[in-house]
Structure 1
Amino acid sequence: MPGDGHWQRTRRAGNGSRLRAFVIERLGPDRGDPDWDPDLLAADILAALTLTPARTRDLSGRLRALPTDRLGALRRARNATAPLQRLFRHLRPDPTRDQARERLAVRDLLP
């Protein structure tokens, strides 16, 4: 993708996460390789999110009143959590899985 601005870097990182989640889903996890470990990928995705699930829920209740830039940020948050849907069944029962469950519960509230 052309450009090296903030959004271009963010988009490339998101594409990488989606590709890794797709490969993990199709071929299965490899916990010995950090690129194909679903727990590590989910932790990376969760660490990149800036809004808490509670704040997301709050903002989703008044989407029409939000400025365009805030709506864009919420849309990017929704897109960033997409790989969690593919990864969820592969996650070990631990805090990362619990956080992923929380994020997926509010994902459909986002634009």
Structure 2
Amino acid sequence: MAYDEALAARIRALVTDEPGLTEKRMFGGLAFLLGGHMAVAASGRGGLMVRVDPARSAELVAGAGVERMVMQGREMDGWLRVSGHPDVDDLPDADLARWVAEGVGFVKTLPPK
């Protein structure tokens, strides 16, 4: 499954003014990176991938439609999938902005690669 280009455009509109922003095709999706770190992506499996503070993973997955990413059979703290909305493309702008801000805010705390 290819990533949703409309969702990618919505994400892009939220991060376009971030210094050092790059886009990269990753994991079948389109990732938005700051300082070389993925902040958020339009996932190739649908929905969003969001990088967050690992210490906040449990708190953030308490929301409907949010789960830890599973990589090689392991749940990964700090990496979330947001996909439970009936159609993530219809995720309200405020909710999308909140998730994008969550990812951008966390990667800004990391040293550049």
Task: Please state which band the TM-score falls in when normalised by the shorter chain.
Answer: under 0.3
Compute the TM-score of the two structures, normalised by the length of structure 2.
Answer: 0.25
Structure number with the higher strand fraction is 2
TM-score computed with the length of structure 1 as normaliser: 0.25
- Which is helix-richer, 1 or 2? 1
Higher RCO, Cα 8 Å, sep 6+: 1
- Return the index of the structure with the highest Cα Rg: 1
